[in-house]
Amino acid sequence: MSRRQYRPPPRAGAAPPDDTGCTILHVDMDAFFANASLLARPDLIGTPVVIGGAGNRGVVLSATYEARAFGVTSAMPMGRARRLCPQATVLPPDHELYSRISDAVMATFESITPYVEPLSLDEAFLDVSGAVRRLGSPATIASQIRDTVHDEQGVTCSVGVAPTKFVAKLASGVCKPDGLLVVPVAEVVTFVQQLPVGALWGVGEKTEEHLGRLGLVTVADIAHTPEATLRRALGATGSHLHNLAWGRDPRRVEPVHREKSIGADETFPVDVDDPAYIRRELLRLSQKTARRMRSAGLVGRTISIKVRFADFTTITRSKTLRDPTDVSQEVYATAVSLYDALGLQRARLRLVGVRVEGLVKAANAPVQPTLDEPEHGWRDADRALDRAVARFGPGSVGPASLLRKR
């Protein structure tokens, strides 16, 4: 399905588009499997590369944009792909790598909003309405996501920002690769109606042919056809397409809770070599991670840290506790002990992260207090902080050491 490039109307003084009310993001990784595979083959960047089975009976899993320019597409027989682009390099898929990067990307999304709806390994919807006050406008959040994914995972993504899921997904497709497109509320109808009918959800090849026989070629054609006429021709699908043609899509982002692990990372604006600074950051990340666990009603036993050096070398260390926990201080104590054991001295760091794995429902794993724990200990303190944060907002209360200028 081909799409004509949408060109927003000119704006005086190159003012940014109005993203008010555009709190739905669709994030789509660019040629994900191909670009992820190139992380180990940087010499192939900028050349046609095809991911899939090497034999002629194999199928294309993904292809770089350089290969796509020759007509190579996903799900195409490898034999045909080789005929279309004989100079392409064929690489075998690395599904473990793809899953690992996908997990990290989804964790980035979940650090921004709990309303994340993955559609596959390489795309997801986000509802950022609750994050705007904390992180900035939807467009700012989208830009932050693109930067974080590229900096931390080495791959690019495109983000559509719109008032509905349908329009956000269209926008991410239009601005590929490595793009960001905001479709303001006032421009939704113009944006949608200039597209071909094949852009509408629910319009497959056969439906598109049927609509063409009816003289309906663009979304505007559907929009200006009476809904009753569409229903007679297409049944219930007619009403569905008519609503989409006017940009109407009431569906909400349905979060899918990923309970393998919970964590948080921080990429520093400049490389850091101060151990005291790193420990404070580990405290902040441990608190954030433990608070998310308590909010989800989860506890975990395995605590890990991630450290990325200035040269992008990344290492992880983990420790499994005897009993599961959701206590911030226990998470922090373990994280900082793992960091201290590395003996990094004045090593320059780009990123640190804290993660808790082996998660189970707290109700299924009651935490036993230790003999030396006071009647009102860290667990009670955490819950008091949770109540304060719920009432007064993030950052309203916390350890004194985190109040120091970073």
- Catalytic center residues: 123
Residue 271 in marked binding region = no
SS3 257: coil
Q: Structure tokens of 247?
A: 């940009």
Residues 121 and 36: their CA atoms lie apart, in Å, by 12
Other beta carbons within 10 angstroms of residue 179's beta carbon come to 18
First to last CA, the chain: 50
Alpha helices of 25-179 — where are they, by DSSP H? 32-37, 65-68, 78-84, 95-112, 132-135, 138-153, 165-174
Burial class (CB in 10 A: 0-12, 13-18, 19+), 190: middle
Residue 372 in marked binding region = no
DSSP 77: B
**Residue type present at position 123:** E
Bridge partners for 158 per DSSP: 28
Burial pattern 138-148, b for ≥16 Cβ within 10 A else e, equals bbebbebbbeb
Pairing relationship of beta strands 123-127 and 157-162 according to DSSP bridges: unpaired
Element (DSSP H or E) covering residue 323: strand 314-325
SS3 121: coil
Residues 192 and 224: their CA atoms lie apart, in Å, by 13
DSSP 152-190: HHS--EEEEEESSHHHHHHHHHHT-SS-EEE--GGGHHH
Question: What residues are designated binding site for Mg(2+)?
Answer: 28, 122
